[in-house]
Homo-oligomer: A and B are copies of this chain.
Amino acid sequence: MITKNQVKYIQSLGQKKSRDADNVFIAEGPKLVKELIDAENCRVTQLYALKEWIDNAGTGVEMIEVSVDELQKISQLTTPNQVLAVAEKIKWENEPVVKGNVSLALDTIQDPGNMGTIIRLADWFGIKNIFCSADSADVYNPKVVQASMGSITRVRVEHLDLLPFLKANNDIRIYATVLNGRDITKMEKINEGIIVIGNESKGVSDEILDLSNVQITIPKKGKAESLNAAVATGIILSHLV
């Protein structure tokens, strides 16, 4: 049983403003919710779940049993999946370390699905940090959280002013994706650097391009005009990392 106020509150967490006000986010589905419960840097505060899920869950978190209809009301998914968790935003100790690591920088990645997929593949390739321009999709947007599939607990995503950040790290090599740069399939692997992925339609902004040390390109054989930003990121990481 869930109250009207609870429904209203959880629905409000679809909005960044409400998430930021309480420093929380929502995540759905047994697999993702279990990952969050098990993660050391994430504290799940509430669970809204169907009886079948509660019966099998061995968790110390407060659980509220909901009906299929009630879950539908609070879910952001087309097909709700047994359980919805409210969790405090991930806590990271210390500052992110750029020196000696390969990091990603996202220059206005606006599609939440792309953002979530990029976080997941950063996790696959062992990338620890992603720095996003302030106008990129919010890492706690429910669509980002779902698409990242738990990788948000392992990859740190920071929203910040990208240009001053890159300027402050000018001892680190900056790689920017362009149309006519160096062929990534012929480059050596790298151990340190910041790889900038550009906006879905506009690419990397001119100011950041000016700052970059190496311009890189995925060679094209056919006729498609562009590649999806997440696909491009995957290809680049698989060749450079």
Residues of A within 8 A of B (CB): 113, 117, 120-127, 149-151, 154, 185, 218, 220-228, 230-235, 238-239, 241
Contact = CB atoms under 8 A, between A and B. Distances in A.
Given A113-B113, A235-B238, A124 B220 contact: yes
A224 B149 CA distance: 8
A225 B150 CA distance: 9
Nearest to A151: B224
B224 A238 contact: no
Protomer copies = 2
Given A126-B221, A224-B151, A238-B185, A231 B121 contact: yes
Given A238-B239, A239-B238, A231 B117 contact: yes
Given A221-B241, A241-B221, A227 B126 contact: no
Nearest to A219: B238
Contacts of A121: 224, 227-228, 231
- Interface core residue of A123, A221, A228 (most chain B CB under 10 Å): A228
Contacts of A238: 185, 218, 235, 238-239
A149 B226 CA distance: 9
Contact of A231 (B127, B149, B231): B231
Contacts of A235: 234-235, 238
Contacts of A150: 224-225
- Interface core residue of A150, A225, A232 (most chain B CB under 10 Å): A225
- Interface core residue of A185, A220, A224 (most chain B CB under 10 Å): A224
Contact of A234 (B125, B149, B151, B231): B231
A227 B154 contact: no
A238 B216 CA distance: 14
Nearest to A128: B222
